[in-house]
Structure 1
Amino acid sequence: MLLAGGLVALVVAALSDRIRRLPISEPLLGLLAGIVLGPAVAGLLDVRPLTEDHAWLHTATRILLAISVMAVALRYPLGAVRAQVRPVVLLLAIAMPLMAVITAGLSAWVLGVGVGAAVLQGAALCPTDPVLASSVVTGGPAEEDLPARDRQVLSLESGANDGLALPLVLAAVAIAGPLTAGEAALESLWQVAGAVVVGLATGWLGGRALRAGEAHGSTDPGPLALFTAVLALTVLGLSGLIHVDGVLAVFVCGLAFNGVSTGSERAADVPIDEAVNRFLVLPLFIGVGAALPWADWADLGWRGLLLAGAVLLLRRLPVLLALRRPLRLGWPDALYLGWFGPIGVSALFYLAMEAERLGAEPTVLAAGSLVVVASVVFHGATAAPGRATYRSVTRHGDQAETSATPGRADRRG
């Protein structure tokens, strides 16, 4: 596994920024490597299918998500974060529950499963993944082709909704299992409220500690670049001990740290952000590729493929188009953000959590993993062409608008 991850990382490093202009992504490269090296092809990685062994998946995705959402929280200045509060709140409060309902309905209709399995599927697949989204909104090509507002909205939505999807998952567990509605509501309140308190406190303390170190000249760039990753893991551990939403706590911690810090910390975190996006995802997706449940997919047959296609097309795009005016998006922006709401690490995290709480449900795990793979493939393959199409459409529209109104400045800046 280490050798495979290292070799793929060398390929990514050699391609450098050019990979952002190709119809492929780092998670897709890792997934393909895992398939080739796994039991389905070469047999060099002898692992059991996800439907049989998912314990490692919950831990691995939890750690990766924590580091990723910390990077999202520090990616932009706090002023830019405040400016996007309204659209992000709309996406979290309206779009995310609608995506869960749509996905659950599609699962019940296409797969013919019961209400319990359908709502488990809908809750697990509703959050927009920050790891896959980062490959869309970061890097030179993304900054050249996409407006800052679109990149910020997608980043912040993906960072926040990973933790805030937990109440939906707990509600699904209550419907599908022995957890009562009251127990699910109390646990959701404790986990979310506790995560906010833990995140605010640890972010403030971390920012103050780092500023004190800078004041005494004891913090140099090397440790500074790793500080936020270590802080994320610390918050994750504390959250696990007191049973609050660790991923949400880390995101809130990052925002609080962003507000307390001087700004140099955010600049120093760029290497960590890039490392998460390009390299830390590789071992996870190699493992996922090797552990894909091919036999369970075969049992799903055409229904699995139909579900994957229906979820990718109908889970998010119609919702974003319907919310275009409240979100203050033009048609190209609504179409772009509606398509690029990838399903990835966060979905695997919640699928594994549901399996730990209720016992593995092969249909839910198999169908959920198939949708994740479809998202990795199609969103990875369309990222570069999608940006190019967006750039072409918007620049053509700007030129037409400028020609119609002489002397008008380019609104994109």
Structure 2
Amino acid sequence: MDLALWSVIVGVLLVLMALASTVLKRLPLSTAMLYLLVGIAVSPLGLALVHAEPRTHALILERMAEVVVLLSLFTAGLKLSPGLTDKRWRLPVRLAVNSMVITVALIAVVAWFFLGLPLGACVLLGAILAPTDPVLASDVQLHEPGDTDKLRFALTGEGGLNDGTAFPFVMLGLGLLGLHELGSFGWRWVAVDVVWATATGLVTGWVLGMAVGRLVLHLRREHKEAVGLDDFLALGLIALAYGCALLLQGYGFLAVFAAGVALRRLEQLEGGGTASAGKVEQALLDPDRSAAENAAVHPRHAPMYMTQAVLGFNQQAERIGEVAIVIAIGALLWAVDWHASAWWFVPLMFLVIRPLSVRIGLSGAPVSGAQRWLIGWFGIRGVGSLYYLMYAVNHGLDAALANQIIALTLAVVVTSIVVHGTSVTPIMAAYERTLRRGRRKP
């Protein structure tokens, strides 16, 4: 496809999104739905400008999804301001561990009995579809770091954690298919893929987030140095946490999420609290760079300025990544060998498996019935599932199995983009109205 034509298409799309962003927020329509339509339009189903295929272009699709997920995980971590001892962390941890394991198990059982897949493929399908998506779920996540809403905190934390906690089950599925070493009686899988890789990822990200954050704050407060280029700081910390975790055979996704949480936690430990919020917001909006530079080196305001500047850049980068990856998903649909099983599997996934796993996983948790229902409904699937799908394809997944799993995964992802995209605005608006009425009651 000609570069000039691509430039026109991308330019028109971005300008239209910028002009229509406020209108879209009021409509039952997500930006991801529009990107999906653009992807379909440029594929052979429309203008035939792009001929992308899931297996042929698996490597580049894996890398694209990987980058977008990393940006989103770091953003999610930066939004989670409460300390690790805060009781609100119990909800996302239970969702990312208990509910996710239950989801993998339920999908595997359905695939074994009704799809005729081998055991390894059943587990692999469950692992691909179990994690909720941190990229496409921004409308139901925390909008501000100080937000105390249980629902948004639970969904933000779940999306950040389970893109990493799903990895052991991906490796288990590949191992059962003979594509990964599990060890005798699964000892290697338990010791390395579960315990070591998970712990190493979390610890590596936390240590690097704290270390880099403290170094930057020391240079800014004491020496008035390292000011500006917060976008480089964000990308550098993401790359450093991810790369170090992988070198130590840990899960890089968990490391990047933990680095974001650590950076935000450092702000809580060393910042000026609510007293800094107004000053930092004013400095970030002030066109005069001197105000920003003063806030960046101020003894009390520097921590909050650092995290807010990093978060602002990361959210912009995440939006650009979302455009590219969702267009790519739409451009793949023409080449999928669709299976009739998707007609019943997709509704089962969203109407039975997700709500049931949430109900069991949050049994006894201090959440209202409405919040539990909303958590069950907004089990958004997207870029994380695409990454794990392409990861499996690139690790030697059999062609016939790959085609079937690709069809089911993309059917779930596309349905999630459409169904959750149309329902998120009215449902969350109703939820916010309910919260406001509750606050007004004496």
By the TM > 0.5 criterion, same fold? yes
Note the C-alpha offset of 1:372: 1.0
> 1:365: which partner in 2?
406
How many Å apart are 1:381 and its aligned residue? Answer: 1.3
- Higher alpha-carbon deviation: 123-132 or 100-109: 100-109
Which residue of structure 1 lines up, in the alignment, with residue 133 of structure 2?
129
**Aligned residues: percent identity?**
26
Measure the CA separation in 2 of the matches of 1:186 and 1:350. Answer: 21
Aligned pairs for 1:171-250 (under 5 A) are 171-178=172-179, 179-180=181-182, 181-188=186-193, 189-215=195-221, 216-220=223-227, 222-250=228-256
Partner residue in 2 for 1:150: 151
Q: Which residue of 2 aligns with 1:307?
A: 345
1:38 aligned to 19, 22, 43, which one? 43
What's 1:318 paired with? Answer: 356
Q: What SS does the corresponding residue of 2:57 show, helix, strand or coil?
A: coil
Q: What residue number does 1:381 align with?
A: 422
CA contact (8 A) 2:28 2:424 kept: yes
Instruction: Map 1:12-161; keep pairs closer than 5 Å.
Output: 12-47=17-52, 49-79=53-83, 82-137=86-141, 148-161=149-162
Contact 1:203 1:252 in 2 (8 A): yes
CA shift in 2, pair 1:271/1:347, >3 Å:
same
CA distance in 2, matches of 1:65, 1:53: 18
Find 1:257's aligned residue among 263, 266, 270.
Answer: 263
- Give 1:224 deviation, angstroms: 2.0
Aligned residues: 392
**Pair 1:353-2:391 in alignment:** yes
Offset from partner CA, 1:288-344 (integer Å, 9 cap, x none): 2112254401xx12x112211211212211222345552211111111111001011
Letter in 1 for 2:346: A
| 1:203 Cα offset (Å) | 1.0
> Structure 2 vs 1, CA of residues 151 and 60 (structure 1 numbering), >3 Å: closer, same or farther?
same
In the TM superposition, residue 345 of structure 1 has moved relative to its aligned partner by 0.8
Q: CA deviation at 1:357?
A: 2.0
1:203–1:257: 8 Å Cα contact kept in structure 2? yes
Cα gap change, 1:104/1:229 in structure 2, threshold over 3 Å: closer, same or farther?
Answer: same
Taking a change above 3 Å as real, the CA distance of residues 217 and 81 of structure 1, as seen in their structure-2 partners, is farther
Distance 1:21 1:70 in 2: 27
Mapped to 2, the partners of 1:113 and 1:318 lie a distance apart of 23
Q: 2:328 aligns with which of 277, 287, 294?
A: 287
Question: Which runs of 5 or more structure 1 residues have no equivalent in the other structure?
Answer: 403-407
Shift of residue 354, structure 1, vs aligned partner: 1.6
Contact 1:102/1:315 (<8 A) preserved = yes
C-alpha offsets along residues 336-368 of structure 1, whole Å, 9 cap, x if unaligned?
111001011111111111222232521112211
Matches of 2:104 and 2:10 in 1, distance apart?
33
Paired residue for 1:333, among 346, 371, 386? 371
Give yes or no for contact 1:203–1:253 (8 Å, CA) kept in 2.
Answer: yes
> 1:121 is matched by which residue type in structure 2?
L
1:276 shift after superposition:
4.2
SS of 1:78 mapped into structure 2: coil
Q: 1:148: Cα distance to partner?
A: 1.8
What secondary structure does 2:79 align onto? Answer: coil
Kindly provide the CA deviation profile for residues 207-244 of structure 1, in whole angstroms up to 9, marking residues without a partner as x: 12210231222244x51244223311232233344432
Distance 1:210 1:314, change over 3 A: same
Contact map agreement 1:95 1:320 (CA 8 A) in 2: yes
* Contact preservation (8 Å) 1:104, 1:122: yes
Which amino acid counterpart does residue 174 of structure 2 have in structure 1?
V
Whether the 8 Å contact between 2:164 and 2:251 is mirrored in structure 1 is yes
Greater length-normalized contact order (CA 8 Å, ≥ 6 residues apart): 1
Cα distance between partner residues in 2 of 1:81 and 1:368: 36
Check 1:2–1:375 CA distance in 2 against 1; reply closer, same or farther (3 A cut). Answer: farther
Q: 1:379 to 1:210 in 2, by over 3 A?
A: same
Corresponding residue for residue 274 of structure 1:
315
* Amino acid in the other structure paired with 1:253: A
Which one is further off, 60-69 or 241-250? 241-250
* Cα distance, 1:273–1:33 mapped onto 2, change above 3 Å: same
Matched-pair contact (CA < 8 Å) for 1:27–1:285: yes
| Closer/same/farther in 2, CA of residues 213 and 12 from structure 1, 3 Å limit | farther
The answer to whether the 8 Å contact 2:163/2:253 transfers is yes
When residues 295 and 130 of structure 1 are mapped into structure 2, their CA distance, relative to the original with a 3 A threshold, is: closer
1:283 to partner: Cα distance: 0.8
Three-state SS of the structure 2 residue aligned to 1:129 is coil
Please state how far the C-alpha of 1:50 moved relative to its aligned partner.
Answer: 0.9
Q: Distance in 1 between matches of 2:264 and 2:138?
A: 19
Shift of residue 287, structure 1, vs aligned partner: 1.4
Distance 1:105 1:328 in 2: 30
Name the structure 2 match of 1:405: none
Cα RMSD between the aligned structures? 2.5
Q: What's the TM-score, normalizing by structure 2?
A: 0.81
Counterpart Cα distance in 2 of 1:13 and 1:365: 33
Gapped runs of 5+ residues in structure 2?
1-5, 268-302
CA contact (8 A) 1:8 1:282 kept: no
Q: Per-residue deviation at 1:3? A: 4.8
